[in-house]
């Protein structure tokens, strides 16, 4: 694992949950959640916790694009859980609001490849640069 990245729950600044002093899983009842595809590790854990807490949102809509999720949530249609690094600009520019989530959520940033995969010099350099950059951003 290269690093641990915090996850945040975000909504549009006008969303009712954006104004709560704290938010819990119970607050997600009857909300529309926009989440990444089903094989996303942090989504799976998030949904397991929701199931254990017996929390049922009004809808879970799956999208394959983080950018699409951000744009839909910015339009006020629902809430998402997302790596904080993916929404830094939107939070800074008040296009999204970070919910005052009561629990720590995080995900690991990994680089994986097939053990028998051949790498060109350029790809090895790119991977090394990525590792250096991601570790330096901690």
Q: What is the pLDDT of residues 28-38, one digit of tens each?
A: 999 999 999 99
Kindly state the tokens that stand for 68: 């699409």
Closest to 38 (Cα-Cα) out of 58, 65, 68, 62:
62
CB atoms within 10 A of CB 15: 19
Which domains are present in the chain? Answer: 3-111 (3.40.190.290)
Whole-angstrom CA distances from 106 to 4, 7, 57, 91 are: 7, 5, 21, 18
Closest to 71 (Cα-Cα) out of 105, 102, 34:
34
The reported pTM is: 0.82
Task: Using a pLDDT cut of 70, give the percent of the chain over it.
Answer: 99
Backbone angles phi, psi at 64, to 5 degrees: -90, -5
Confidence class of residue 80 from pLDDT cuts 50, 70 and 90? very high
Handedness of CA 80, 84, 90, 95 (dihedral sign): positive
pLDDT at 1: 74
For 44-66, what is each residue's pLDDT tens digit? 999 999 999 999 999 999 999 99
Helix then strand then coil, % of the chain, to nearest 5: 40, 20, 40
Alpha-carbon distance 88 to 3, whole Å? 17
């Amino acid at each position: 694992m290269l690093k641990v990245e915090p996850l945040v729950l975000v909504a549009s600044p006008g969303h009712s949950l954006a104004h709560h002093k704290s938010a819990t899983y119970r607050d997600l009842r009857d909300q529309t959640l926009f989440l990444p595809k089903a094989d996303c590790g942090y989504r799976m854990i998030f949904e397991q916790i929701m199931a254990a807490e017996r929390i049922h949102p009004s809808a879970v809509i799956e999208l394959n694009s983080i950018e699409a999720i951000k744009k839909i949530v910015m339009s006020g249609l629902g809430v998402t859980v997302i790596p904080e690094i993916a929404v830094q600009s939107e939070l800074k520019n008040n296009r999204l609001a970070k919910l005052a989530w009561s629990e720590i959520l995080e995900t690991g940033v990994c680089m994986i490849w097939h053990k028998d995969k051949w790498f060109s010099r350029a790809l090895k350099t790119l991977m090394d640069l990525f590792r250096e950059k991601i570790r330096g951003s901690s």
